[in-house]
Amino acid sequence: MAKIIVLTSGKGGVGKTTSAAAIAAGLALRGKRTVVIDFDVGLRNLDLIMGCERRVVFDFINVINGDAKLNQALIKDKRNDNLYIFPTSQTRDKDALKREGVERVLDELKDNFDYIVCDSPAGIEHGAITALYFADSAIIVTNPEVSSVRDSDRIIGILASKSRRAEHNLEPVDVHLLLTRYSLERVKKGEMLSVEDVNEILSIPLLGVIPESESVLKASNTGTPIVFDQESLAGRAYIDAVARFLGEQREMRFVTPERRSFFRALLGRA
């Protein structure tokens, strides 16, 4: 029986889709059968980040409406056999996400996967609420910046009151913080909220800190989830976050200054 994970944030542009792609691919790398679903109806982008935009034939809304079968719409990743992408519609609007339809599709996916990763749209409207409604776990993607932290707090409140688990008085959604676009340099200069600051304000368990990294844009340019880039610090940080999600203890990296070796400094590589 699959576990449903939602990546959500309230605020747009904080790295939800990048993180959904990375976490889903990271789970697949750990041998978990994983599907990642794009809930951002009308603003489809997960397909581009995953590099399968030219293979989309049917989408989430087609399956909800019964116009296509699930196995016609699921796209198998070419890099990892455990990973599937479920694209959304680019032409419909978010009202096409009917809750009963979404539930039926999720139930069918549950039998075939270990993890269902839901990439939420920004905002707190219908699309975002539908994405988080069925979640067992939530990963709150947050930037160390005031508007993102405030919106994260709001979305944590919504998870606690409007999710299926809340409405049915079940065990609450288990929430995790993923702090992205973190710049240790700027934190040291006192120009950016530190991981401790954000932790103190939001007080939910920290899943990982992803350093701001040029490799993330390079990965999205080529349609490769960042965890497939072994060289990338951000990719390694996501791999660590996935391990923590699976219950492993891993020390937080990229949070305290690393000593740069003489040769690395010479080569100018962080």
Query: What are the b/e assignments for 187-209, b being 16+ CB within 10 Å?
Result: beeeebbbbeebeeebebebbbb
Site string for other proteins, 78-117 (x = CB under 8 A): ----------------------------------------
Rounded least distance, CB 166 to other proteins, Å: 12
How far lies 68's CA from each of 58, 59, 60, 122, in Å? Answer: 7, 8, 9, 27
Residues 185-244 that bind other proteins (CB under 8 A): 187, 189-194, 197, 200-201
Rounded least distance, CB 196 to other proteins, Å: 10
Rounded least distance, CB 188 to other proteins, Å: 10
Binding segment for other proteins (CB under 8 A), chosen from 18-26, 80-88, 153-161, 216-224, is 153-161
- Compare residues 190 and 247 and give the one whose CB is closer to other proteins: 190
Query: Binding to other proteins by residue 169, rule CB under 8 A?
Result: no
What region does 25 belong to: left with phi over 0, alpha with psi -120 to 50, or beta?
Answer: alpha
- Compare residues 9 and 232 and give the one whose CB is closer to other proteins: 9
- Tell me if 25 sits within 8 A of 239, measured CB to CB: no
Rounded least distance, CB 153 to other proteins, Å: 5
How many residues touch other proteins (CB under 8 A)? 17
Query: Binding to other proteins by residue 146, rule CB under 8 A?
Result: yes
Count Cα atoms within 13 angstroms, Cβ side, for 215.
20
- Compare residues 114 and 153 and give the one whose CB is closer to other proteins: 153
Query: Binding to other proteins by residue 166, rule CB under 8 A?
Result: no
Measure CA 33 to chain center: 16
Beta strand segments in 143-268, E: 174-182, 206-211
> What angle, rounded to 10 degrees, do the helices at 16-29 and 214-222 form?
80
- Dihedral angle computed from the Cα positions of residues 181, 51, 84 and 136, in that order, rounded to the nearest 10 degrees: 20
What does the binding site for other proteins look like in residue numbers (CB under 8 A)?
Answer: 145-146, 149-150, 153-154, 157, 187, 189-194, 197, 200-201
